Chains A and B, each alone.
Chain A
Amino acid sequence: MAFTLGFHIVLASLGVAFPAMMLIANYRGLRRADPDALLLAQRWSKVAAVTFAVGAVTGTVLSFEFGLLWPAFTSRFGDVFGVLFAIEGIFFFLEAIFFAIYIYGWKRLSPWAHFWTGVPIAVTGLGGAFSVVAVNSWMNQPQGFTPSSGDVTKVEPLKVIFNRAVPYEVPHMILAAYLVTGFLIASVYAVGMLRGRRDRYHRLGLLIPLTVAAIVTPIQFAVGDTAARSIADDQPVKFAAMECVQKTATHVTEYLGGRCTSSGVKGGIGIPGFDSFLVGWSTDTQVTGLDSVAPDDRPPANTMLHLSFDAMVGICTALIGLGLWLGIAWWRKRDIPQTKWFLRATAVSGVAAVVALECGWIVTEVGRQPWIVYEFMRTEDAVTQASGVWVTFSVVMALYTVLGAALVVTLRVMARRWREVEVEEDDVPYGPRPGGSPTVVSGAQ
């Protein structure tokens, strides 16, 4: 499930944020009668359609996995967190419906009506992200049910939906979706420009998503910082594992990098007292260590957790730098930076953002172990008793590898085809409209 979720999280991020990018291009195209922007919007809608379809498939598989892998978890707590998935079901349904209308409506609907059929996609994407991430928040900060052991007999849905972790986890994930999508799309056009395709179409394709990402990244940094501090309060053991804090103490050193061992961090860069300072704005702040709980209750793979956390923060910092670079160049010259190094950095930013996303996911999931529902249910008690799950698991691994490869190949084929045929009939988004007639079939150019 970890594997399928790690796969789904990228597609889901695209599902949440790609429609917004597509609508920005669409809006610009209509407002300024900009054919390049319209062409981008139309092509993005086709790409988004493919990733959304694959995302829908992986999402369906995930709902199967709740039963196939975690029947005990779902049996006991399905009635607690299930309502959130029911809400997400509505959002997803609406998203799928309007996606279909938008994608297949290019030719026949009037341009502005068509634009407005796209708006619900972006809105429902946000709603869906809220509901799903709220479930994960609840697993981190379970509340709203009694009794604390055995079958749940009483549920308070509002307490479940608006649990303690929602205020920081949900914004963090939604911003991450926009950040990843923005850098990912921009990186594609950066590669194109590095290969010499420096036309206006490519510059616009880079500029729109990169601007969104550049705005989102610093906000994300602040939200992430708040999240980390809240985790120090809400899940001190997870925080201790992220920062490799072995013993509860004040004046705790902040380590960048390094290996976690029981006698402290080996090989990292230490900043004395800084960890305490980050948690409570003073080096006197006490930070809870791993020794506060029994060894059985500590997360595994400490070094990986610590490095994932550092990588996420490090990548985010570097991406802020990239955003600033764009901002300064735009402020001074009203253009993207002309140097190849900017394009190279942008080309790498997409992959880097995905890595940061996966690292963040590792931190929140592995950091919660050994619990599936924090301090209420252990992962080992949640798993299915059916034998042969490993077979299922291996098949799923193989399948997803093929799926990922097929997705990449398909998108590349689409891109190549678009390059070969500069403007094919299909790619003229809206036809000419003599006399302002709203529904004229396109293709006459």
Chain B
Amino acid sequence: MSSADASAGVLWVGVTFYAVFGGADFGGGFWALVAGGGEAGRRPRDLIDAAIGTVWEANHVWLIFVLVVLWTAFPTAFGSIFSTLFIPLSLAALGIVLRGSGFAFHATARRLAGRQLAQRLFGVSSLLTPFFMGTVVGAVASGRVPVGNAKGDPVSSWLNPVSLLVGALFVATCAYLAAVFLVSEARRAGAADLERYFTVRALGAAVVAGVVGVAGIVVLHSDARYLYDRLTHEGLPLVIISVLCGAGVLVALRRRATRGVRPLAVGAVVAVLWGWGVAQYPYLLPEKLKIADGAAPSATLTALLIVFGVAVVLVLPSIALLFTLGQRSLIEETKRPKPTQ
């Protein structure tokens, strides 16, 4: 494997972590929005706040990781994507600002009006940010980003069936992941009502994500033939794994299984992501720019891989520590919903 391929692998590892952790985080915001601002939605919102509070910043550092690896290892692709797709990317960045500040401020805002505004900002931007990111992914995957400084169409590159569908798929997937995680959180907090609440929503989101996924394959067939062909050949095993995992989650949720739901749900998402990666290989920008042609000089790639190695040694144990402390309730938000009697 060349160092360019290895760097692409590193990029994909970052994308995977962001999709799972960041995705669940966005999904949490989505469910907070759906729960509404009133008293009825209070318990689910508190559970979501408690689940996200300790980890949300760490979750979103993955995005910075992905961007930095992309511009370091594949600067041409980075410049081309960002200059052509500046509209959805600006909107995604806007969402990130609103979301982050909404979250930072809502815990401290004392007056109800201020808190509700912050919460609503947090919820709406949790919905829009993954959607616009999805349109960007759809644009790249369907080969609508040419090489160069703003060489692609600024509008039709991301306002097209594939992009819109991938955007919807992103939102559904985030909601699905979050709901599955929140079922476990509710169980840990001893809140049986919330466990039921999020089980129903996890099932719903799983079905929606599945339907959008199938629709996506149909659209790919007509609109992004290259990706469709590769996805149904080289990527097929991963697609099948994803479907099996997704089906497993449905069964496990129905049976109220306590274990295995989260790994299966994560597996379904990761398999699709790597399916996409395999389908796109060896292109960074399908049929326009290959990994080998778009890669940085070898010394840069080597340095990047070394940095990644150090990150694995330093960052992963720290993340494990953070999540372990969180799961053992050694670190916690002050207001978690009380257990049901």
Q: Which residues of A contact B (CB under 8 A)?
A: 50, 52-54, 56-61, 63-64, 66-68, 71-72, 74-80, 82-83, 85-90, 92-94, 96-101, 104-105, 107-109, 152-157, 384-389, 392, 395, 399, 403, 406-407, 410, 413-414, 417, 426, 439
Question: Nearest-CB distance from B139 to chain A (Å)?
Answer: 14
**Interface residue B303 (Cβ < 8 Å from any Cβ of A):** yes
CA distance A260 to B271 in the complex (A): 63
Pairwise interchain contact A104-B108, C-beta atoms closer than 8 A: no
Question: With contacts A78-B71, A80-B300 known, is A87 near B97, CB below 8 A?
Answer: no
Chain A residues within an 8 Å CB radius of B218: none
Bound-state CA distance A61–B334 (Å) is: 30
CB of A193 to closest CB in B, whole Å: 24
Closest CB of chain B to A398's CB: distance in Å?
11
> How far does the alpha carbon of A94 sit from the alpha carbon of B318 in the complex, in Å?
7
**B292 on the A face (CB < 8 A):** no
Contact among B58, B80, B93, B104 for A97, CB-based, below 8 A: B58
Knowing A384-B149, A414-B108, the reply to whether A82 touches B100 (Cβ < 8 A) is no
Q: Write out the residue numbers on chain B whose beta carbons fall within 8 Å of the beta carbon of A407.
A: 101
13 contacts between A and B (CB under 8 A): A53-B57, A75-B76, A82-B300, A88-B68, A92-B64, A93-B61, A97-B322, A100-B54, A153-B297, A399-B98, A407-B101, A410-B109, A426-B334
Q: Determine if B297 and A86 form an interchain contact, defined as CB atoms under 8 angstroms apart.
A: no
Number of A-B contacts (CB under 8 A): 236
Chain B interfacial residues counted at CB < 8 A: 70
11 further A-B pairs in the complex, CB-CB below 8 A; given A60-B63, A93-B318: A56-B57, A64-B67, A74-B79, A82-B296, A97-B58, A97-B318, A100-B58, A105-B325, A152-B297, A155-B297, A414-B108
| B36 in the interface (beta carbon within 8 A) | no
Contact B149 A90 (CB under 8 A): no
CA distance A417 to B110 in the complex (A): 9
Classify the interface of chain B: helix, strand, loop or mixed.
Answer: helix
In the complex the two chains form, is B90's CB within 8 Å of A392's CB? Answer: yes
A399 — which chain B residues lie within 8 A by C-beta?
Answer: 94, 97-98
Among A66, A68, A71, A417, contact of B90 (Cβ-Cβ < 8 Å): A68
**Which segment of B191-199, B257-265, B308-316 sits at the interface?**
B308-316
Say if the beta carbon of B78 comes within 8 Å of chain A.
Answer: yes
Q: Are A57 and B100 in contact (CB under 8 A)?
A: yes
Residue B113, interface by CB 8 Å: no
Closest chain B CB from A45 CB (angstroms) = 12
Chain A residues lying within 8 Å of B112, measured Cβ to Cβ, are none
Contact (Cβ within 8 A) B315 A94: yes
Residues A61 and B331 in contact in the complex (CB < 8 Å), given A97-B58, A153-B297, A154-B299: no
Q: Within 8 Å CB of A66, what residues of B?
A: 67, 71, 78, 82
Task: Please give the distance in Å from B336's CB to the nearest CB on chain A.
Answer: 12
Are A53 and B297 interface neighbours, CB within 8 A? Answer: no
Say yes or no: is B116 at the interface (Cβ < 8 Å to chain A).
no
Picked from B63, B101, B314, the residue with its CB within 8 Å of the CB of A403 is: B101
Q: How many angstroms from the CA of A152 to the CA of B75 in the assembled complex?
A: 11
**B54 contacts A104, CB within 8 Å?**
yes
Name the one of B60, B73, B104 contacting A54, with C-beta atoms under 8 angstroms: B104
A246 shortest CB reach to chain B, Å: 37
State in angstroms the CA–CA spacing of A57 and B93 once bound together. 9
Whether A83 lies near B58 (C-beta < 8 A) is: no
Chain B residues with Cβ under 8 A from A155's Cβ?
296-297, 299-300, 303
A422 to chain B, nearest CB (A): 17
**4 nearest A-B pairs in the assembled complex, by CB-CB distance:** A67-B82, A82-B72, A79-B296, A75-B79
- State the CA gap A66–B81 with chains docked (Å): 12
B residues less than 8 Å from A78 (CB atoms)? 71-72, 75, 78-79, 296
Considering only CB atoms, which chain B residue lies closest to A70 in the complex? Answer: B79
